[in-house]
Amino acid sequence: MTKPSVFSTRPLFPAARAILEQHFEAEYWTAPERIPRTELLRRVADKDALVCLLTEKVDEELLAAAPKLRAVATVSVGYDNIDVAACTRHKVVATNTPGVLDETTADFAWTLLMAIARRLVEGDAWLRTGSWPGWELDQLLGGDIWGKTLGIIGLGRIGSRVARRAQGFQMRILYHSRHRAPLGLEAELHAEFAELDRLLHESDFVTLHVPLLPTTRHLISAEALGKMKPSTYLINTTRGPVVDEEALARALQRGTIAGAALDVYENEPRVHPDLLGLRNVILAPHIGSATIETRTKMAVLAATNVAAIFAGQRPPNALNGDALGL
Ligand code: NAP
């Protein structure tokens, strides 16, 4: 029996390729640069399944160009690149990779939080210029982390891991989420629910962990930034458009907040030009989940998801499983 066909927009990792190749005739995009859109549309035209990255849009145009397609797996937990409703209309199962990157991404939110509070990147750059004069009493003074108030927006899988790590720093934790967390989890995390305004007013660090949705686009607007204290730091490891980057650049220029550490941007790979010249911002190139262990797990999970669909099983992470009656 001929195997179904899959196209992957990246060569993935050997462990994920092994799963794909057991179940599919697999083709990969192997060039170092990202696959051009026209090439992607051409390569999926006769495929049964697609494994893609968050940088590739799966929309009406792509689905119309791939009439045989039955499954799409994004190698990411965020799936704002996928029009899930359009997938359902085309009877295509869409999947993501939740759960396997929570701890790693929480680690990175903390990496950014600590680095911006203690001005690590700024200090490193200074040292490399050769002009550091040696220890000084008032040099590169940052903000304390321990004992401060951490505001977590989106207490889901990653947000709750960020909260857990804060306990070692004896921090007070406020969180805001669509729904209140179960009381047991609140108690375990020592996390107190707060309306968004209160969280913005009282937090020394605000860290974002909501998905990108119409309701979260520009959640951190000029108005929201205006509610933060001049000593507050903003950490964004979720999706760029959750923050109004133009408004953030203004707030950082005027010093109405102390600093920001970002892993994600509104128009990746472009970064707002006004941010590039500022010292009170850290700009990371979207590497929140970028460890060898976690990226391998993500690719394996994406491969497992598409393989399950063709084995007649409910994939572990179907986004439209109910809508398609799986
Ligand atoms: P999750 O478990 O679904 O958690 C998201 C949380 O946000 C949930 O608690 C949800 O509340 C809350 N939420 C949704 N809409 C909201 C709103 N309008 N206002 C307030 N809270 C809202 O997701 P996750 O696995 O933690 O991942 C979160 C996001 O992180 C992903 O969507 C992805 O974009 C991003 N991410 C980025 C990287 C990176 O490389 N930088 C890595 C991994 C993930 P309810 O449960 O009540 O709906």
In the chain, how many H helices and how many E strands?
13, 12
In a shared domain, residues 114 and 196? yes
Q: How far apart are CA 185 and CA 157, in angstroms?
A: 12
Residue 224 and residue 154 share a domain: yes
Same domain, 161 and 279: yes
The mean pLDDT of 269-283, rounded to a whole number, is 97
Say yes or no to pLDDT of 30 above 90: yes
Looking at the structure, do residues 68 and 162 belong to the same domain, yes or no? no
Specify the amino acid at residue 272.
H
- In this structure, the answer to whether residues 241 and 106 fall within a common structural domain is yes
Same domain, 233 and 152: yes
229 and 182 in a common domain = yes
For the entire predicted model, the pTM comes to 0.97
pLDDT at res. 161: 98
Chain-centre distance of CA 28, in angstroms? 24
Of 119, 135, 131, 62, give the one whose Cα is nearest residue 94.
Answer: 62
Mean residue pLDDT across the chain: 98
Side by side, the strands of the sheet bearing 233-236 are 191-193, 172-176, 149-153, 205-208, 233-236, 259-262, 281-283
Q: Are residues 156 and 239 in the same domain?
A: yes
pLDDT for the residue numbered 326: 87
* Owning domain of residue 259: 102-283
Spatial distance between the Cα atoms of 88 and 195, rounded to a whole number of angstroms = 34
CA distance 294 to 292: 6
Spacing, Cα 21 to ligand 1 middle (Å): 32
Domains contained in the chain, number: 2
CB-count exposure of residue 300 (10 Å: 0-12, 13-18, 19+): buried
Mean pLDDT of 148-161: 98
Query: Are both 273 and 198 inside the same structural domain?
Result: yes
Beta strands per DSSP E along the chain: 5-8, 25-28, 49-52, 71-74, 93-95, 149-153, 172-176, 191-193, 205-208, 233-236, 259-262, 281-283
Closest among 204, 216, 219 to 174, alpha carbons compared: 204
**Residue-wise pLDDT tens digits, 85-138:** 999 999 999 999 999 999 999 999 999 999 999 999 999 999 999 999 999 999
Domain co-membership, 301 together with 232: no
Q: What gap in Å lies between CA 45 and CA 62, rounded to an integer?
A: 9
Is there a single domain that holds both residue 72 and residue 142?
no
Which of the 8 DSSP states describes residue 267? Answer: B
Residues 267 and 299 in one domain: no
Can you give the pLDDT at residue 1? 77
Residue 68 near residue 291, CB atoms below 8 Å: no
CATH assignment at residue 106: 3.40.50.720
Mutate to test the pocket of ligand 1, among 105, 195, 237 (most ligand atoms within 8 A of CB): 105
In this structure, the residues whose C-beta lies within 6 A of any atom of ligand 1 are 77-78, 98, 101, 105, 154-159, 176-179, 209-213, 215-216, 237-239, 263-264, 286, 288-289
Instruction: Name the amino acid, one letter, at 269.
Output: P
